[in-house]
Amino acid sequence: MIEAKGWAECGLPGIADRAALAVLGYLKLDGPFEIALLGCDDERIAALNAEFRTRPRPTNVLSWPSEDRAAARDGDRPPAPDGSDPELGDIAIAFETCAREAVAAGVPLAQHATHLVVHAVLHLLGYDHERPGDAELMEGTEVEILAQLGYPDPYTVASDA
């Protein structure tokens, strides 16, 4: 669902499809899988951030996995979905915040949005960055997926993902 006009103009549905398929392909996961995507503005994501994370401010992207898929041990890959439920979860991405971050990083909006969708899809699949080993695994996985898409390492420039 596209609520923010800017996302429609920059082609978020295509960006998101390409990013999600890249994650699934990299992890060798066969679908079908379902992900709900909301392309919203800062006001909407701030309300969602307040409701679900008690942080009443805009953020770039939020994700809600349909189930907890996290690895038990820090740094281990999360277990792959067993395929019994195609729904992976929901993602919301905020146009104004993403546009500001892209400008600050000196990258095209489509490139930054791709990174954020890759990041969010990994969250839906149980990847996280709260523990040190998990953060290293998630960041490395993002960098490799983005490289396959032809994008440079986003962590070599300022980024809030």
What residues form the annotated binding site? 119, 123, 129
Binding positions for Zn(2+) are 119, 123, 129
Please name which of 7, 133, 12, 145 lies closest in space to residue 75, comparing C-alpha atoms. 133
Sign of CA dihedral 79, 55, 140, 142: positive
Residues 6+ apart with CB under 8 A from 161: 60, 61, 115, 116, 119, 142, 154
Distance (Å, whole) CA 145 – CA 19:
9
Return the SS3 of 158: coil
Distance (Å, whole) CA 120 – CA 27:
14
User: Under a CB-based contact definition with an 8 Å cutoff, are residues 46 and 57 in contact?
Assistant: yes
